[in-house]
């Protein structure tokens, strides 16, 4: 058996009929070099050969009798390939939009908790001898870093370091007596950590308050816990829509280097520019900065392939600013403040407190939130930036040309923007419900336009410096 962390339980208990908590992982594959015919049956065989390296895919949730403790993982469960591996056909002509529509439909239904919490879809019908593998993985199983590491294990690499462990035989589910014994020991272990968790929280909160008093006012940044109303902050529907695009990663890094900004700063600037355009096109006033929730990993070990080691930073997105370089400068300030607050509070402080929140309380709160028409009271939008592999991987000899990933929506916030760097690409994935946008590709188009605007402004600023030096 394996325990779930506080973050795991939060992500599991916050799922409702309209707020699904699965993530999506999409690999587009050039099947020209596939070893054999790229059929669904061949895909099943390839998956079975990689399953021994993917231990979390055999975790199965079990409840504690009488709910005396949180759910637990039972390891080495049976895998029902007829449920977990599915085949879908991308409709003609098989372009990006057609694939995105299929992904949105897959995202619209929750995972069945009677099985290990994942499914893989083999999508054929794409143009140019391509196929796609669409993974639907519950967030309780893996966060962004763990998912990236898990995906790395699933692929082949030129250095030949793909692991080849043996498949462990399936084990029977633990008995109620074993579960209760595990739960009792875990309860005692958790209670011993309560005083230190309280102490860290009190000290962290004091540090935050003291530092906030020392900072000068930043009127162009959002006030904490005061996100403005927008057309996408609303009660979300159960259906999902998906849209994707790619940006040249080298150009994104070059923009950051020029302005002494991180890749994440550039991503947030692009997000702010795209959201400004969307607000104006939908008739909203882009006169106040938005607040973005930025998931942050507290454990970036390359060996971690399961669980959630998370923290969340709230960053101001200055959508009220028209000039892209000014937006970038404000975001640099906002992210610096958010990172400082993150360290002052303590990266693991929130996760430590979540260890003591009863799952029943989480379920009650999130079900109430999902039924309300009110917007999210903490943030407007989720924006994630996940570093992926720097080299292209292969599956059965075929090159994986693109990788997309996107997390779930939150109650009162019908928009998630996730970027995943892979080789020379920055893959942009957008998830929304099916009632907010006329076409979710409006979001990716706005983000691409915001990137072009930022790149042009950077080139112009370089030109000004060159002329001034001359």
Alpha-helical runs (H) found in 346-410: 349-354, 359-371
> Where in the chain are the domains?
2-179, 183-384+425-469
Residue 232 clears pLDDT 90, i.e. is over it: yes
Q: Which fold has domain 183-384+425-469?
A: Chloramphenicol Acetyltransferase (3.30.559)
> What are the backbone angles phi and psi of residue 316, rounded to the nearest 5°?
-75, 130
Quick one: pLDDT at residue 169? 67
Closest CA to 2 of 59, 53, 54, 65: 59
With cut-offs at 50, 70 and 90, classify the pLDDT of residue 138. Answer: very high
Q: Which of 84, 139, 342, 441 is catalytic?
A: 139
- In angstroms, how far is CA 53 from the centroid of its own chain? 22
Distance CA 214, CA 198 (A): 25
Mean pLDDT (the chain, rounded):
91
Closest CA to 40 of 104, 162, 132: 132
Tell me, yes or no, if 139 is annotated catalytic. Answer: yes
The answer to whether residues 57 and 183 touch, using CB atoms and an 8 Å cutoff, is: no
CATH superfamily of 2-179: Chloramphenicol acetyltransferase-like domain (3.30.559.10)
The model's pLDDT over 235-284, given as tens digits with 9 standing for 90+, comes to 999 999 999 999 999 999 999 999 999 999 999 999 999 999 999 999 99
Which pTM does this prediction carry?
0.92
Distance CA 215, CA 317 (A): 19
Quick one: pLDDT at residue 380? 96
With cut-offs at 50, 70 and 90, classify the pLDDT of residue 164. Answer: low
The answer to whether residues 167 and 48 touch, using CB atoms and an 8 Å cutoff, is: no
Name the CA radius of gyration of the chain, rounded.
Answer: 23
């Amino acid at each position: 058996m394996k325990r779930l962390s506080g973050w795991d339980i939060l992500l599991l208990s916050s799922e409702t009929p309209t707020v699904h908590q699965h993530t999506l992982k999409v690999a587009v594959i050039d099947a020209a070099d596939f070893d054999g015919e790229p059929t669904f049956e061949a895909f099943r065989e390839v998956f079975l050969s990689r399953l021994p390296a993917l231990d979390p895919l055999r975790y199965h949730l079990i409840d504690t009798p009488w709910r005396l403790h949180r759910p637990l993982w039972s390891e080495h469960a049976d895998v029902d390939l007829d449920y977990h591996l599915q085949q879908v056909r991308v409709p003609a002509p098989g372009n990006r939009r057609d694939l995105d529509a299929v992904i949105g439909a897959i995202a619209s239904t929750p995972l069945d908790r009677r099985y290990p919490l994942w499914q893989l879809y083999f999508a054929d019908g794409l143009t140019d001898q391509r196929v796609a593998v669409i993974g639907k993985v519950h967030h309780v199983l893996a966060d962004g870093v763990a998912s990236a590491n898990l995906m790395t294990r699933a692929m082949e690499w030129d250095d030949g370091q793909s692991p080849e462990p043996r498949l462990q035989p399936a084990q029977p589910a633990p008995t109620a007596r074993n579960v209760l014994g595990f739960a009792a020991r875990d309860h005692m272990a958790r209670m011993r950590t309560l005083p230190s968790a309280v102490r860290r929280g009190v000290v962290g909160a004091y540090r935050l308050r003291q530092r906030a008093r020392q900072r000068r006012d930043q009127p162009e940044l959002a006030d904490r816990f005061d996100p403005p109303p927008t057309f996408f902050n609303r009660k979300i529907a159960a259906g999902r829509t998906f849209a994707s695009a790619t940006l040249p990663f080298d150009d994104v890094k070059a923009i950051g280097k020029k302005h002494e900004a991180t890749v994440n700063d550039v991503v947030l600037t692009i997000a702010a520019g795209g959201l400004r355009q969307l607000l104006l096109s939908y008739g909203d006033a882009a006169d106040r900065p938005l607040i973005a929730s930025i998931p942050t990993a507290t454990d970036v070990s390359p060996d971690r392939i399961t669980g959630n080691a998370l923290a969340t930073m709230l960053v101001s997105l200055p959508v009220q600013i028209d000039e892209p370089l000014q937006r970038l400068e404000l975001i640099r300030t906002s992210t610096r403040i958010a990172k400082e607050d993150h360290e002052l509070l303590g990266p693991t402080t929130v996760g430590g407190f979540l260890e003591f929140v009863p799952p029943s309380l989480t379920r009650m709160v999130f079900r109430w939130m999902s039924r309300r028409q009110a917007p999210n009271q903490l943030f407007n939008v989720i924006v994630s930036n996940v570093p992926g592999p720097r080299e292209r991987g292969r599956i059965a000899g075929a090159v994986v040309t693109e990788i997309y990933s996107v997390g779930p929506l939150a109650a009162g916030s019908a928009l998630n923007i996730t970027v995943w760097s892979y080789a020379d690409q920055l893959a942009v994935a957008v998830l929304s419900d099916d009632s907010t946008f006329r076409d979710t590709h409006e979001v990716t188009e706005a983000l691409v336009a915001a990137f072009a605007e930022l790149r042009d402004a950077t080139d112009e600023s370089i030109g000004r410096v060159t002329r001034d030096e001359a």
